[in-house]
Amino acid sequence: MQAYYEIETQIPQNHQLQLQLPESIPAGHAKIAVIYELPEATDNKAVKMAAFLNGLPDETDESGMSREAINEFLKQERQDWD
């Protein structure tokens, strides 16, 4: 037979928890699960693309393409998909 016990806590910066269980829980084997909220992920492709493009060098790099040339290439690719 299994039983369930739940308690809420804060995870500190050192990621170490100290837990005091009630006396009613007997000593022996147990499983511990940590359920936590994930930060909301920004899955906005336009934001990611803008960040990528802003990180490109202004001058021609070793690939031979400037930021302007890459922007023009991407613009053409988008038109081809429409």
In a domain, 24, yes or no: no
Task: Enter the tokens of residue 1.
Answer: 């037979």
Range of the domain at 50: 45-81
Q: Mind listing the pLDDT tens digit for each residue in 15-38?
A: 999 999 999 999 999 999 999 888
Rounded to whole angstroms, the Cα distance separating 56 from 49 reads: 11
What's the structural domain count of the chain?
A: 1
Q: What average pLDDT does the structure give for the chain?
A: 82
pLDDT tens, position by position, 37-73: 887 766 677 777 777 777 776 666 566 777 778 788 8
In a domain, 15, yes or no: no
| Burial (CB count <10 Å: 0-12, 13-18, 19+), residue 2 | exposed
pTM score of the predicted model: 0.42
